[in-house]
Amino acid sequence: MSVMEFSFSAAEFERRRVATLALASDIGASVVLAFGENRSGVHVPYLTGWSVTRLAYVRLTADGCTMWVQFHNHTPNARRLAYRTDVRDVDDSMIPAMLGTAKTIATLGQVPYPIRQAARDAGIELVAIDGKHNGLRIIKSTEEVEALRLGALASDVGARALIDACKPGATDWDLLAAARSAYTRVGGRDHICYICVTDMNNPDRDVPSQVPEGRVVNQGSVITFELSASISPEYPGQILRTVTIGAPTDDYARLHDVAMTARSSVRAAMRSGVPAADLIGAASCIEESGFTTTDDLFHGLGMGYLEPIGTSPSRIPPHVPTTVLASGMSIVVQPNVTFTNHGAGVQVGEMVIVTDEGITDIHEIPAEMVQR
């Protein structure tokens, strides 16, 4: 596969900025400040297209967009990639320039203490609009769906490489390296790659680890993983699969059968206009089979971890969504079926796009358990 590339249009960025400023206007503000640090924070790339590295603070008004970036050697890349943004270095003039003369400012993301303090000293009210802004990002535009589709393709490339690397003697570090190398070669970016390696006959965990632990694949191992790569920042796919080295044990075969049934039932229930809470009932086979889950049953993803978020009723803590499915939602269906003591579990699922008629798949790897 050749290297994949994607960029959003000027019209897409203008749509986002206009909608964000409208939320600010609702609370009497004409300025929006967005914050991100240490490769975290979706608001900066949403408004500018540039991924946060060390620090990036954005000031958006109807007159334009300014972004302060740390460090100086990061500013050339930011100036190349950020859409119609005046990119500046972080310096002593930053905070006064960010706050300006406004009396009320809308904020997105965690506001750093020095800025909060300076706003208090100047009598400026900072009002968070994160909750309402999340609502802007739940329904994806046509361009956003295309970015997610490419993210799914990159994720599939990584997943195939990870599956191929599941051989006796390999460590979870090797599996991670195989996945990352594969999707990087086609233009993919890191999002997450969580991996579990355990013994099917003596399992000691039910969900993948967020970082490798030096676990070694052996005959009789089961490997579960959750993998997301993106082509455009914060627009990943997400794929979850289970691999066995040798024939699955009866316990793992049953866990996976129930997970596949739950996956099919939830997917069949999805379409625009359906209350998201109904999807929880569609997966009732999990509890009826004597199992539970550790991870979400489903959740929104793409420019953030978003509603609808639903868990199995036996999952502690539970979460019942109040939203209604709508065309353009990007949702990961992922019934992580586990023993009630959480000693063993499987992974199966992937991101789909909700439509008026049902769902559109953007991943291509079969959901069945892989036996190697």
pLDDT at 2: 82
Task: Bin 302: left if φ > 0, else alpha if -120 < ψ < 50, else beta.
Answer: left
Mean pLDDT of the chain: 97
Range 35-45 average pLDDT: 93
pLDDT in tens, 186-207: 999 999 999 999 999 999 999 9
d(CA 77, CA 83): 12
- List domains and CATH numbers for the chain: 10-136 (3.40.350.10), 142-371 (3.90.230.10)
**Contact of 231 with 185, CB cutoff 8 Å:** no
Counting residues of the chain whose pLDDT is more than 70, the rounded percentage is 100
pLDDT in tens, 118-130: 999 999 999 999 9
Q: β-pairing, 104-108 with 125-128?
A: parallel
- Does the pLDDT value for residue 339 go beyond 80? yes
- Does the pLDDT value for residue 98 go beyond 90? yes
pLDDT at 7: 95
Type and span of the H or E element at 338: strand 337-338
pLDDT at 324: 98
Residue (of 214, 242, 256, 208) closest to 372 by Cα position = 242
- Does the pLDDT value for residue 44 go beyond 80? yes
pLDDT at 40: 87
- Does the pLDDT value for residue 1 go beyond 80? no
Cis amide leading into 308 (omega within 30): yes
**Contact of 250 with 354, CB cutoff 8 Å:** no
Range 304-308 average pLDDT: 97
pTM of the shown model: 0.96
